[in-house]
Amino acid sequence: MRDPSPPVYREIAEALRSAIASGELSDGDRVPGENDLMKRYGVARATARQALSVLINEGIVVAVRGSGVYVRTFRPLRRHGPRRLSRELWGGGRAIWQADTADRAFAADNITVRETAAPEHVARALDLPEQERVVVRRRRYLLDDRPMQLATSYLPAKLAAGTAIAEADTGPGGIYARLAELGHAPAHFTEEIRVRMPSPAEVEELALSAGTPVLDVMRTALTSDHRAVELNEMTLDGSAYILQYDFDA
């Protein structure tokens, strides 16, 4: 018969997790290190190290080389799908992030804009002929100075080239407000979401802790006559978001 009790390292990890959840250990506090855990629980170094690794992999704590392990608490961003894409928001000159962030500081950096031939999956999503040109906008979003999301938008060059959409700063209301001014206001959105592990480049750009998954969100914006005007491929830090969707029965 198997022993139902959890391994000792998991019990230690749970005790530390509870101390963080209760506020006994708060953001920035140093977590008991390997030597402290060895003395407190009478365990080998390998067990203490494994317990800390569990929390590091969960993103709850972060190891600082030569210093120790510290609590890394972060209030997840609640991403409300329908509300953040409402015409009332971007039509009023507000960024869609403002629906989620309230009074928290958000910013975009690493903004690049270029024009290229549409990749096959982009041409398919936007219903474009093969090799049709698209404007590609890539940026990284930060909340409270923490990288949160990578986003790449593809728009038909026939719509976007030579407009504010092809500029680093698209102006109040962003891409969707500019599309509306051009007579191509988004009226419908579809999103597909999947979870995966990040690439090494994504780990670096999003400053992800070991073992943190990412969420891929692919959103297509369509006009009232169901013409696709944007494909947005987003990569989200899986530890930093709560996704909220409201539906009527």
Q: Which domains does the chain have, with CATH numbers?
A: 8-71 (1.10.10.10), 77-244 (3.40.1410.10)
State the burial class of residue 242 (Cβ atoms within 10 Å of its Cβ: 0-12, 13-18, 19+): exposed
pLDDT score of 1: 47
Local confidence pLDDT in tens for the 249 residues of the chain: 455 667 899 999 999 999 988 889 887 889 999 999 999 999 999 999 999 999 887 778 888 888 889 887 667 778 877 777 777 777 777 677 666 776 778 888 999 999 999 999 999 999 999 889 999 999 999 988 889 999 999 999 999 999 999 999 999 989 999 999 999 999 999 999 999 999 999 999 998 877 789 999 999 999 999 999 999 999 999 888 888 877 777
pTM: 0.76
Quick one: which of 173, 174, 156 has its CA closest to 231?
156
How far apart are the C-alpha atoms of 234 and 203, rounded to whole Å?
14
